[in-house]
Each structure stands twice: as C-alpha cells, then as structure tokens.
C-alpha cells in the first residue's frame, strides 16, 4: 500500500487503564502545527498528523477482529502507549504482532508514560514481551519521564515532539527549538494573563473594601487666646440615605467614621459641623481618607455687647448715660440700651464696665443680649 493510500496517519495501541493518555496523545498529534518552512519543503499541511485512530472503548477478549485488522492495515504508523499495564496486555501484543507481520516494523513507535524500559521486573517493565519475542530492533521510545529538564511538564512536551519527529522522519532539533520558543511565548502570555486576572481581582477587592474616613477641624477665624477653646463639635456625615454622627471634644482630636462603603471614596458627600460659639458649617466636599473641615467662630457671641441700664427704685430704663466698656465710651439710648461691637481678635469673656452714675456691677460677662440688665445703685 502506498503512503498516500493510508486512511490513518497512525493507530494508537493502548491498555484500557491508560485510556486518558490515549485521548491526550490523540489530541496532541492531531492539533500539532508544523513550521511553515518544513511544510513547504515536504508538501505537508500545517497539521500533517491526522487522522489518528484511537478506539475509546475497552477491547473485548479474543483475537483481533476483522475491523481492527483493517484499521491497522490502513494506518501508516503504529503508536504503542507503553506502561506496566500495556506490557501485561495480550491485546496490545497482538496489535504489535499484526503490524509487524505487515512488514512495517520500522513504523512502530513507542510512547512511554509509566514504568522502565527493559527493567526485567513485571511490576515496572513498560515494553510488551512481544517486542522481544519478535526480535524487534533496539527500542528507546519517547519517554515522558526522561529527566532532561527540571520541570516535568517540559519533559512531557519534549517526549511529544520526539514522537512527532519520528513519525514525520525529521530532525528532532528542527522542531524542538521552535516548540520551546512557542512554549515560552505561551508561558509569558499565560503569566501576563494570570497577573492581569489577579490584578483585576485585587482591584475589585480593594474597590469593595470599606474605608475609614478621618475628619479633623481647622479654625479659619482669627485666633484669640482670650476666648474658650472648641468643645463638643458635632460632626454629621451624610451618605445617600445614611447618616453618620460623632463628636469632637477638642480641636486637636481627629474623628474617624469607620467602614464607609468604598463606592463613596472620591465622591461628593455632605458634612455639617455644629459647635457652641462657632458658626455652623454646612458644606459638600470630596470624601477622602483624610478630610479637614474649616470652621469659624461666631463673631457675635463675645463681640456683640448689649445690656440696659435700669433703676430698680424707679423701675425705669436710663437713657443718655455715659458708659465705659473696656476703655471705650458708649451712650445708652432712649430705652436704656447700651450696644457695642468688638472685633473678634479683641474679644474677651469678661469686660470691665463703669458709668457716669454708680452701678451695681463693675463687669459684664459674655455672651449677653437685650435682656441683660445692669442695675444702678
């Protein structure tokens, strides 16, 4: 039979216990792409090793069926999957013997997946006894466990290429060097892909990780040591339909809102700060892990002085009374009201007060308002 008349490029002989190796080898051979230069040189297709016959069912006891004999005859090569299993298989021996009788001994190839060649031990021997019985030439075979490289997977790839080079009768190095380059490119691509996937998973995890938002306060108004320090500032953070509230007891403290959903990071949120003697801060700002909110004192609390001069004996408010407040002269109006504004930087909690008439008090304590009275003596 001429080469071009073969129906199958190869016939895989195996023991049923090695069926997975048979399937894997069939896929490898039928999908292997040869270098384009070799294909042009030999007139091959880019995938020249096909079809490969592989019977994926257990072989029944008895002699070779007519069908199997026909398939063996129609196969250019016989590939024997060698292992202690196939070494003990009568059926594998019969297929080797039949192919040998066809006069195509040189086209018998061995692919070792387990065991040791010529070990003499039935538990480890991988070659079927028929090999010696028929007096087949010295056989090495492609061995996936040959320790050429430190990586088992690379030794398996080398064995595949070694078998392919024998099937096509080409120099092993001719295709092995190219195959290694392809493997390196694939490994780089796989590694890059894995790194991208890992990076994406990390990014997803980070983006879904709750954050802690730290809030501190900064006074923008003129600093004045005469005035009481900040105390009990209530900070409210609004996130969609959720509100978080906490209290800062001093200006030097930092307030931490814990477990804020990550989706709010770098998004606008609403913040409110209320504190005695300070103006209410109501603002929108970008949520970050560290935020500073600017606050200012209420200049009216300690700087807007208002009181009335009152005579309890006559039960009257006294107008046109000259009053001295911290060195400043103020005249009471027709209702007895004394009104005086002091800049924030000069404000105090207590101011000395005197008048052109005797007063019952000599100091005014802030804050005060229209209902605040100073009585005459």
Question: Does some domain include residue 284?
Answer: yes
CATH of the domain at 281: 2.60.40.10
Q: Which of 147, 178, 184 is nearest to 164 (CA)?
A: 178
The CATH number of the domain holding residue 8 is 3.40.50.10140
CA angle 267, 268, 274 (to 5 degrees): 135
pLDDT for 261: 87
46 contacts: CB under 8 Å, gap ≥ 6: 33, 34, 36, 39
Residues 25 and 104 in one domain: yes
Question: Quick one: 57 and 128 in the same domain?
Answer: yes
The pLDDT of residue 2 is: 43
pLDDT digits (tens, 9 = 90+) for 101-131: 999 999 999 999 999 988 889 899 999 999 9
Q: What is the pLDDT of residue 62?
A: 52
Question: Residues 262, 208: contact at Cβ < 8 Å?
Answer: yes
With vertex at residue 111, the alpha carbon angle to CA 109 and CA 117, rounded to the nearest 5 degrees, is 100
Q: Are residues 24 and 121 in the same domain?
A: yes
pLDDT at res. 242 = 84
Q: How many domains does the chain have?
A: 3
Q: What is the DSSP pairing of strand 211-219 with strand 290-295? A: parallel
Range of the domain at 238: 211-297
Looking at residue 138, its pLDDT comes to: 66
Q: Would you state the pLDDT for residue 3?
A: 44
Whether residues 279 and 352 fall in one domain: no
Instruction: Give the SS3 label for residue 314.
Output: coil
- Domain end residue (candidates: 247, 270, 297): 297
The answer to whether residue 187 is domain-embedded is: no
Rounded CA gap, 358 and 338, in Å? 16
In a domain, 162, yes or no: yes
Per-residue confidence (pLDDT) for residue 17, from 0 to 100? 94
Whether residue 277 contacts residue 227, with contact meaning beta carbons closer than 8 Å, is answered with: yes
The whole-number pLDDT of residue 63 equals 59
- Residue 44's pLDDT is 85
SS (H, E, C) 193-220: HHHHHHHHHHHHHHHHCCEEEEEEEEEC
* Shared-domain flag, residues 15 and 84: yes
Report the run of H or E that residue 71 belongs to, with start and end: helix 66-73
229 plus 344 within the same structural domain: no
Tell me what pLDDT residue 181 has: 85
Element spanning 375, H or E: strand 373-375
Whether 337 and 321 map to the same domain: the answer is: yes
Q: Are residues 9 and 104 in the same domain?
A: yes
Separation between Cα atoms, residue 156 and residue 146, nearest integer Å: 8
Residue 374: CB atoms within 10 A of its CB come to 23
* Residue 14, in any domain of the structure: yes
Mean pLDDT split into 10-residue runs, the chain, 377 residues:
71 94 94 84 84 70 75 94 94 93 93 91 92 81 90 92 92 87 87 91 81 92 89 92 90 91 90 94 93 93 91 92 93 92 92 92 86 80
């Amino acid at each position: 039979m001429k080469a071009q008349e073969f129906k199958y490029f190869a016939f895989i002989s195996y023991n049923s216990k090695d069926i997975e190796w048979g399937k894997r080898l069939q896929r490898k051979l039928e999908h292997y792409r040869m270098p384009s230069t070799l294909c042009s040189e030999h007139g091959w297709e880019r995938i020249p090793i096909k079809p490969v016959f592989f019977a994926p069912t257990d072989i029944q006891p008895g002699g070779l069926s007519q069908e199997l004999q026909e398939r063996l005859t129609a196969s250019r090569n016989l590939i024997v999957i060698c292992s202690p299993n196939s070494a003990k298989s009568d059926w594998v021996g019969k297929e080797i013997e039949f192919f040998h009788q066809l006069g195509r001994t040189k086209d018998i190839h061995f692919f070792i997946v387990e065991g040791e060649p010529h070990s003499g031990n039935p538990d480890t021997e991988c070659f079927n006894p028929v090999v010696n019985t028929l007096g087949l030439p010295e056989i090495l075979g492609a061995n996936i466990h040959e320790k050429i490289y430190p990586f088992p997977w690379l030794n398996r790839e080398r064995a595949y290429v070694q078998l392919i080079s024998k099937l096509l009768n080409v120099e092993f190095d001719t295709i092995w060097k190219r195959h290694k380059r392809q493997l390196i490119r694939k490994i780089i691509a796989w590694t890059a892909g894995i790194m991208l996937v890992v990076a994406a998973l990390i990014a997803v995890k980070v983006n879904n990780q709750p954050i802690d938002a730290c809030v501190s306060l900064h006074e923008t108004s003129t600093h004045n040591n005469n005035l009481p320090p900040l105390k009990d500032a209530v900070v409210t953070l609004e996130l969609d339909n959720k509100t978080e509230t906490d209290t800062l007891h001093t200006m030097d403290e930092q307030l931490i809102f814990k477990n804020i959903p990550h989706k709010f990071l770098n998004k606008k949120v609403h913040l409110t700060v209320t504190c005695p003697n300070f103006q209410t801060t109501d603002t929108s700002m970008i949520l970050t892990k560290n935020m500073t909110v600017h606050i200012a004192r209420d200049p009216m609390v300690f700087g807007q002085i208002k009181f009335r001069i009152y005579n309890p004996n006559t039960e009257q408010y006294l107008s046109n009374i000259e009053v001295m407040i911290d060195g400043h002269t103020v005249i009471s109006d027709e209702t007895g009201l004394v009104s005086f504004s002091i800049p924030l930087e000069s404000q105090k909690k207590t101011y000395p007060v005197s008048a052109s008439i005797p007063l019952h008090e000599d100091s005014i304590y802030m804050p005060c308002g229209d209902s605040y009275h100073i009585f005459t003596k």
